Amino acid sequence: MNIEGRNQVLEALKSEKTINKIYIDKNYASRKDEIIREAKSMKIKCEFVPKNVLDKISVTSHHQGYIAETVDFSYCDVDDILNYAKEKNEDAFVVLLDGIEDPHNLGAIIRSCECAGVHGIILPKMRACQVNETVIRTSAGAVSNMRIARVTNLKEAIDALKENGLWIYSAEIGGKDIYKTDLTGKIGIVIGSEGKGTKQSIKAYCDDVISLPLFGKVNSLNASVSAGIVVYEIVRQRLMKNK
Protein backbone atom coordinates (compact mmCIF):
# COMPACT_ATOMS: atom_id res chain seq x y z
CA MET A 1 0.00 0.00 0.00
CA ASN A 2 1.23 3.50 -0.80
CA ILE A 3 0.62 6.66 1.21
CA GLU A 4 0.44 9.87 -0.81
CA GLY A 5 0.74 13.54 0.08
CA ARG A 6 3.20 15.52 2.15
CA ASN A 7 1.23 15.63 5.41
CA GLN A 8 0.12 12.02 5.07
CA VAL A 9 3.66 10.77 4.56
CA LEU A 10 4.95 12.87 7.47
CA GLU A 11 2.20 11.50 9.71
CA ALA A 12 3.07 7.95 8.64
CA LEU A 13 6.70 8.57 9.63
CA LYS A 14 5.62 9.69 13.09
CA SER A 15 3.19 6.80 13.57
CA GLU A 16 3.69 3.03 13.71
CA LYS A 17 3.53 2.62 9.94
CA THR A 18 6.30 0.46 8.51
CA ILE A 19 7.76 2.32 5.54
CA ASN A 20 10.01 0.61 3.03
CA LYS A 21 10.85 3.59 0.84
CA ILE A 22 9.76 7.18 0.12
CA TYR A 23 9.59 8.53 -3.42
CA ILE A 24 10.18 12.29 -3.55
CA ASP A 25 9.96 14.73 -6.43
CA LYS A 26 13.61 15.54 -7.04
CA ASN A 27 12.70 19.20 -7.51
CA TYR A 28 11.48 19.28 -3.89
CA ALA A 29 14.68 17.79 -2.47
CA SER A 30 16.10 19.89 0.33
CA ARG A 31 18.24 19.05 3.33
CA LYS A 32 15.84 21.12 5.43
CA ASP A 33 12.86 19.02 4.36
CA GLU A 34 11.29 17.53 7.50
CA ILE A 35 10.31 14.34 5.69
CA ILE A 36 13.84 13.76 4.42
CA ARG A 37 15.26 14.52 7.85
CA GLU A 38 12.87 12.15 9.63
CA ALA A 39 13.41 9.40 7.06
CA LYS A 40 17.18 9.71 7.36
CA SER A 41 17.06 9.41 11.16
CA MET A 42 14.96 6.24 10.80
CA LYS A 43 17.22 4.79 8.08
CA ILE A 44 14.39 4.81 5.55
CA LYS A 45 15.51 5.10 1.95
CA CYS A 46 14.45 8.18 -0.01
CA GLU A 47 14.43 7.93 -3.79
CA PHE A 48 14.43 11.23 -5.68
CA VAL A 49 12.59 10.91 -8.98
CA PRO A 50 11.05 13.16 -11.67
CA LYS A 51 7.43 14.25 -11.13
CA ASN A 52 6.21 12.11 -14.02
CA VAL A 53 7.42 8.98 -12.21
CA LEU A 54 5.34 9.93 -9.17
CA ASP A 55 2.39 10.63 -11.45
CA LYS A 56 2.59 7.05 -12.77
CA ILE A 57 2.80 5.56 -9.28
CA SER A 58 0.06 7.76 -7.83
CA VAL A 59 -3.47 6.46 -7.42
CA THR A 60 -5.02 9.64 -6.01
CA SER A 61 -3.26 12.11 -8.33
CA HIS A 62 -2.63 14.23 -5.21
CA HIS A 63 0.83 13.05 -4.20
CA GLN A 64 2.21 16.61 -3.74
CA GLY A 65 5.66 15.24 -4.57
CA TYR A 66 5.71 12.53 -1.86
CA ILE A 67 4.72 8.86 -1.95
CA ALA A 68 5.61 6.41 0.83
CA GLU A 69 5.75 2.69 0.05
CA THR A 70 4.61 0.83 3.16
CA VAL A 71 5.06 -2.75 4.29
CA ASP A 72 2.27 -4.80 5.83
CA PHE A 73 3.89 -5.47 9.21
CA SER A 74 2.58 -4.74 12.71
CA TYR A 75 4.88 -4.19 15.67
CA CYS A 76 3.91 -5.37 19.12
CA ASP A 77 4.51 -4.00 22.63
CA VAL A 78 7.21 -5.17 25.04
CA ASP A 79 4.43 -6.56 27.27
CA ASP A 80 3.24 -8.75 24.39
CA ILE A 81 6.67 -10.39 24.28
CA LEU A 82 6.73 -11.00 28.03
CA ASN A 83 3.17 -12.33 28.00
CA TYR A 84 4.05 -14.72 25.18
CA ALA A 85 6.86 -16.20 27.30
CA LYS A 86 4.41 -16.62 30.21
CA GLU A 87 1.86 -18.31 27.94
CA LYS A 88 4.53 -20.83 26.92
CA ASN A 89 5.54 -21.26 30.58
CA GLU A 90 9.14 -20.46 29.64
CA ASP A 91 11.77 -18.11 31.03
CA ALA A 92 11.63 -14.96 28.93
CA PHE A 93 14.27 -14.83 26.19
CA VAL A 94 14.53 -11.42 24.52
CA VAL A 95 16.99 -9.85 22.06
CA LEU A 96 17.43 -6.07 21.96
CA LEU A 97 19.08 -4.42 18.95
CA ASP A 98 21.00 -1.20 19.49
CA GLY A 99 21.23 0.61 16.17
CA ILE A 100 21.36 -2.23 13.62
CA GLU A 101 21.20 -0.35 10.31
CA ASP A 102 21.71 -2.99 7.62
CA PRO A 103 18.38 -4.64 6.60
CA HIS A 104 20.23 -7.83 5.63
CA ASN A 105 21.70 -8.04 9.13
CA LEU A 106 18.32 -7.37 10.72
CA GLY A 107 16.66 -10.03 8.57
CA ALA A 108 19.36 -12.57 9.39
CA ILE A 109 19.09 -11.80 13.12
CA ILE A 110 15.32 -12.24 13.06
CA ARG A 111 15.75 -15.57 11.28
CA SER A 112 18.28 -16.86 13.84
CA CYS A 113 16.16 -15.66 16.76
CA GLU A 114 13.02 -17.29 15.44
CA CYS A 115 14.83 -20.60 14.93
CA ALA A 116 16.29 -20.38 18.45
CA GLY A 117 12.93 -19.81 20.10
CA VAL A 118 13.55 -16.21 21.15
CA HIS A 119 10.26 -14.81 22.45
CA GLY A 120 10.71 -11.37 20.92
CA ILE A 121 13.00 -8.70 19.54
CA ILE A 122 13.10 -5.07 20.62
CA LEU A 123 14.51 -2.35 18.39
CA PRO A 124 14.57 1.46 18.59
CA LYS A 125 12.42 3.63 16.36
CA MET A 126 15.20 6.06 15.53
CA ARG A 127 18.60 5.61 13.88
CA ALA A 128 18.03 1.94 13.19
CA CYS A 129 16.69 -0.22 10.40
CA GLN A 130 12.99 -1.02 10.60
CA VAL A 131 11.17 -4.02 9.13
CA ASN A 132 11.00 -3.47 5.37
CA GLU A 133 10.77 -5.67 2.29
CA THR A 134 14.49 -6.48 2.35
CA VAL A 135 14.28 -7.52 6.00
CA ILE A 136 11.22 -9.67 5.33
CA ARG A 137 12.91 -11.35 2.36
CA THR A 138 16.22 -11.94 4.19
CA SER A 139 14.43 -13.42 7.20
CA ALA A 140 13.02 -16.17 4.93
CA GLY A 141 9.56 -15.69 6.42
CA ALA A 142 10.69 -15.63 10.06
CA VAL A 143 9.32 -12.09 10.47
CA SER A 144 5.79 -13.50 10.33
CA ASN A 145 6.47 -15.66 13.38
CA MET A 146 8.50 -13.23 15.46
CA ARG A 147 7.16 -10.66 17.90
CA ILE A 148 9.02 -7.41 17.28
CA ALA A 149 8.55 -4.33 19.46
CA ARG A 150 9.65 -0.88 18.32
CA VAL A 151 10.41 1.50 21.18
CA THR A 152 11.23 5.18 21.54
CA ASN A 153 13.70 4.62 24.37
CA LEU A 154 15.79 1.46 24.66
CA LYS A 155 16.68 2.23 28.29
CA GLU A 156 13.01 2.28 29.26
CA ALA A 157 12.56 -1.07 27.53
CA ILE A 158 15.50 -2.47 29.50
CA ASP A 159 13.90 -1.14 32.71
CA ALA A 160 10.66 -2.92 31.85
CA LEU A 161 12.52 -6.17 31.27
CA LYS A 162 14.46 -5.84 34.53
CA GLU A 163 11.23 -5.21 36.43
CA ASN A 164 10.01 -8.54 35.06
CA GLY A 165 13.06 -10.38 36.34
CA LEU A 166 15.24 -10.48 33.24
CA TRP A 167 19.03 -10.24 33.53
CA ILE A 168 20.32 -8.00 30.72
CA TYR A 169 23.62 -8.71 29.02
CA SER A 170 25.39 -6.67 26.36
CA ALA A 171 27.19 -8.87 23.83
CA GLU A 172 30.36 -6.86 23.37
CA ILE A 173 34.14 -7.16 23.19
CA GLY A 174 35.89 -7.07 26.58
CA GLY A 175 33.28 -8.86 28.66
CA LYS A 176 33.02 -12.23 30.37
CA ASP A 177 33.62 -15.33 28.28
CA ILE A 178 30.19 -16.40 27.06
CA TYR A 179 31.10 -20.07 27.46
CA LYS A 180 31.97 -19.57 31.13
CA THR A 181 28.88 -17.53 32.00
CA ASP A 182 25.57 -18.93 33.23
CA LEU A 183 23.01 -17.72 30.70
CA THR A 184 20.02 -19.71 31.92
CA GLY A 185 16.92 -18.11 33.43
CA LYS A 186 15.14 -15.00 32.24
CA ILE A 187 17.48 -13.15 29.92
CA GLY A 188 17.80 -10.22 27.56
CA ILE A 189 20.72 -9.86 25.14
CA VAL A 190 21.71 -6.52 23.60
CA ILE A 191 23.36 -6.71 20.19
CA GLY A 192 25.09 -3.50 19.11
CA SER A 193 25.42 -1.84 15.72
CA GLU A 194 27.61 -3.16 12.93
CA GLY A 195 30.39 -0.60 13.24
CA LYS A 196 30.26 0.83 16.76
CA GLY A 197 28.79 -1.97 18.84
CA THR A 198 26.54 -1.19 21.80
CA LYS A 199 26.43 2.48 22.76
CA GLN A 200 28.26 3.18 26.02
CA SER A 201 25.09 4.64 27.57
CA ILE A 202 23.21 1.40 26.85
CA LYS A 203 26.06 -0.89 27.85
CA ALA A 204 26.33 0.88 31.20
CA TYR A 205 22.62 0.22 31.70
CA CYS A 206 23.05 -3.54 31.28
CA ASP A 207 23.69 -5.91 34.17
CA ASP A 208 26.82 -7.36 32.61
CA VAL A 209 28.81 -7.80 29.39
CA ILE A 210 29.55 -11.09 27.65
CA SER A 211 31.97 -11.76 24.81
CA LEU A 212 32.75 -14.42 22.27
CA PRO A 213 36.37 -15.56 22.34
CA LEU A 214 38.27 -14.46 19.23
CA PHE A 215 41.38 -16.29 18.11
CA GLY A 216 42.08 -14.73 14.73
CA LYS A 217 43.58 -11.41 13.72
CA VAL A 218 40.18 -9.84 13.01
CA ASN A 219 38.78 -8.53 16.30
CA SER A 220 35.06 -8.53 15.52
CA LEU A 221 32.25 -10.54 13.96
CA ASN A 222 29.34 -9.48 11.80
CA ALA A 223 26.38 -8.47 14.00
CA SER A 224 24.06 -11.15 12.65
CA VAL A 225 26.75 -13.84 13.03
CA SER A 226 27.40 -12.76 16.63
CA ALA A 227 23.69 -12.76 17.38
CA GLY A 228 23.28 -16.26 15.99
CA ILE A 229 26.16 -17.67 18.05
CA VAL A 230 25.00 -15.95 21.25
CA VAL A 231 21.36 -17.03 21.06
CA TYR A 232 22.32 -20.62 20.34
CA GLU A 233 24.74 -20.72 23.27
CA ILE A 234 21.76 -19.70 25.42
CA VAL A 235 19.71 -22.48 23.80
CA ARG A 236 22.52 -25.00 24.50
CA GLN A 237 22.71 -23.99 28.16
CA ARG A 238 18.95 -24.21 28.59
CA LEU A 239 18.85 -27.67 27.06
CA MET A 240 21.70 -28.86 29.29
CA LYS A 241 19.97 -27.47 32.37
CA ASN A 242 16.73 -29.26 31.56
CA LYS A 243 18.33 -32.66 30.98
CATH code where residue 51 lies? 3.30.1330.30
Count of Cβ atoms closer than 10 Å to residue 140 Cβ:
13
**In CATH, what number is assigned to the domain containing residue 186?**
3.40.1280.10
Total number of domains in the chain: 2
Where does a domain end: 18, 39, 70? 70
Query: Based on the domain organization, do 20 and 134 belong to the same domain?
Result: no
The closest alpha carbon to 84, from 122, 133, 37, belongs to 122
Which of 70, 93, 108 lies at the terminal end of a domain, its last residue? Answer: 70
The percent of residues above 70 in pLDDT, for the chain, comes to 98
Residues 129, 42 share a domain: no
Q: Are residues 150 and 191 in the same domain?
A: yes
pLDDT of amino acid 43: 84
Which pLDDT band, with edges at 50, 70 and 90, does 2 fall under? confident
Examine the domain organization and report whether 82 and 53 are in the same domain: no
pLDDT tens digit sequence for 151-173: 999 999 999 999 999 999 999 98
Helices 103-116, 223-241: crossing angle, 10 deg rounding: 10
Range of the domain at 46: 2-70
Q: Say what the pTM is.
A: 0.81
Which pLDDT value is given to residue 229?
97
Q: Do 46 and 159 sit in the same domain of this protein?
A: no
Tell which residue, 98, 88, 134, has the closest CA to residue 227: 98
